[in-house]
Amino acid sequence: MSITLEELAFRLNDHITDEGTSFDALLLDNGVLEVVCSNNDEFPIHLALTETQLLAVTPLFSVNEVMPNEVDNLNKVLLQLAPAVPLSAFGLQDDTYILFGAMALATSFETIVHELEVQAENTIDVLDAIQSLLA
Amino acid sequence: MSILKDIFTAIRGGASEAGEAIVDANAIRILEQEIREAENAIAKAKQSLTRLKGSEIKLKREINSLNTDYDDYEAKAIEALNAGQESLAEEVAERLEEIANERDEKTAEHKTLEGEVNAINKLVRSREKIIQKNKRDLEKVKTIKEVQKATTSISDNVAATSSSQHRVSKALDRVKAKQQNWRDNMEAGEWMETQEQGDDLDARLKQSGIGGSAGSKKSAILEKLKAKQKTG
């Protein structure tokens, strides 16, 4: 059984985790589900579906927000940090750095919620770690 | 050819920066066409397979029946020999030769058929492989497309903070402040709880006359004063 974004939005808006995280889910016009987690309300997670996966993308910052001489350094550091956050990966979409994770469509609601909570937390940790390289 | 290589080429060529479809629509059409062709080939193969399987079962049955005949006539030939009827036994031997020839023919035919069935099964497996590989490739293309969509779409309620200087640092500071605030509230809550529990305990101790109360101290001092007054 696979979940739809509408259903996911409905259930997320009505859910509080054991750690006290609540969600604000909004389905955008282009079919992307924007989820703001209460443990990190500055960097929303964007959810999209493919035939087999639920994709969770957190846009972090754009290349021009990195200190001009530190881009290569940042890329290297991100690769080095990647194994420490195995469930979310770093990526570069056009010139936006993103944190993203993918789940199978059959993933249970409880697991999805947990992954979102962890991704929101990882976002803060990652940004905190590399903050000195940002302009 | 792998789709990742196509994606690599497209990125190197700067295709994604212009927001164009990262993989040539033609490449996607080719993948989809290959899937359709492979699916058709499998459907046809399965039809032939059904037909071949029918012939194979029929042949197998015929071979079995010839084997039974052979054993039957062989026993009869021995019986004839035992009875001293040499010429009858010779006729039976001729019959046995015919049966053996027919059986060998059918067995050879059966072997050929088996080979054909194996070849068709192999073809089905190779087409299945194409379908799976192409579907995975299409999934990669779709993933890139969706990630692109998910990255660029930002709703009005978060767009307000974008593109200001030190945007990330400021946002990070706000999040951290909120988290600290939340932790402080938690600690305050815990502190209140212990305070309330403590007050309750003191009250209960006092009620049971345990622990020095202000009243009893006063009377003790008064006793001492009275004692001094007497001696003084």
pLDDT digits (tens, 9 = 90+) for B203-227: 777 778 776 555 567 788 888 888 8
Is residue B92 included in any domain, yes or no? Answer: yes
Over residues B168-213, the pLDDT tens digits come to 889 999 998 988 888 888 888 888 887 777 777 777 777 787 765 5
What are the C-alpha distances in Å from B198 to residues B17, B192, B201?
64, 10, 5
Yes or no: say if A8 and A112 are a contact pair by the CB < 8 Å rule.
Answer: yes
Least confidently predicted of A45-54, B12-21, B82-91: B12-21
CB contact under 8 A, A127 and B172: yes
How far is Cα B192 from Cα B184, in angstroms, rounded to an integer?
A: 12
| Res B18 pLDDT > 50 | no
State residue B1's pLDDT score: 60
What are the C-alpha distances in Å from B12 to residues A35, A69, B149?
32, 22, 20
- Structural domain for A78, as ranges: 5-133
Is residue B146 included in any domain, yes or no? Answer: no
pLDDT tens string for chain A (135 positions)? Answer: 578 999 999 999 999 998 889 999 999 988 999 999 999 999 999 999 999 999 999 999 999 999 999 999 999 999 999 998 888 899 998 889 999 999 999 999 999 999 999 999 999 999 999 999 998
Which of B20, B134, B149, B186 is the best residue to mutate to test the A interface, defined by the most A CB atoms within 10 Å of its own CB? B149
Strands A96-104 and A89-93: antiparallel
The residue in chain A having the minimum alpha-carbon distance to the alpha carbon of residue B160 is A42
State residue B212's pLDDT score: 57
From chain B, the residues in CB contact with A134 under 8 A are 166, 168-169
CA distance A119 to chain B (A): 14
From chain A, the residues in CB contact with B174 under 8 A are 42
CB contact under 8 A, B169 and A131: yes
More confident residue, A13 or B8: A13
How far is Cα B92 from Cα B80, in angstroms, rounded to an integer?
A: 9
Yes or no: say if A25 and A12 are a contact pair by the CB < 8 Å rule.
Answer: yes
Which of A33, A61, A93 is the best residue to mutate to test the B interface, defined by the most B CB atoms within 10 Å of its own CB? A93
Residue type, A135: A
CA distance A110 to chain B (A): 22
| Res B17 pLDDT > 50 | no
Over residues B121-176, the pLDDT tens digits come to 999 999 999 999 999 989 988 888 888 888 887 655 554 445 667 888 899 999 98
Query: CATH number for the domain including A85?
Result: 3.30.1460.10
ipTM above 0.85, yes or no: yes
Q: What domain count does chain B have? A: 1
Is residue B13 included in any domain, yes or no? Answer: yes
State residue B10's pLDDT score: 78
- Structural domain for B10, as ranges: 3-138
CA distance B16 to chain A (A): 6
CB contact under 8 A, A134 and B178: no
From chain B, the residues in CB contact with A50 under 8 A are 139, 142-143, 146
Which residues 6+ apart lie within 8 Å of B55 measured at CB?
A: B113
Which residues 6+ apart lie within 8 Å of B7 measured at CB?
A: B22, B23, B140, B141, B144
Where would I find the beta strands (DSSP E) of B75-128? none
How far is Cα B5 from Cα B223, in angstroms, rounded to an integer?
A: 100
Is residue B191 included in any domain, yes or no? Answer: no
| CB contacts < 8 A (A, B) | 98
Q: What domain count does chain A have? A: 1
| Res B8 pLDDT > 70 | yes
From chain A, the residues in CB contact with B152 under 8 A are 93-94, 96
Strands A89-93 and A40-49: unpaired
Is residue B10 included in any domain, yes or no? Answer: yes
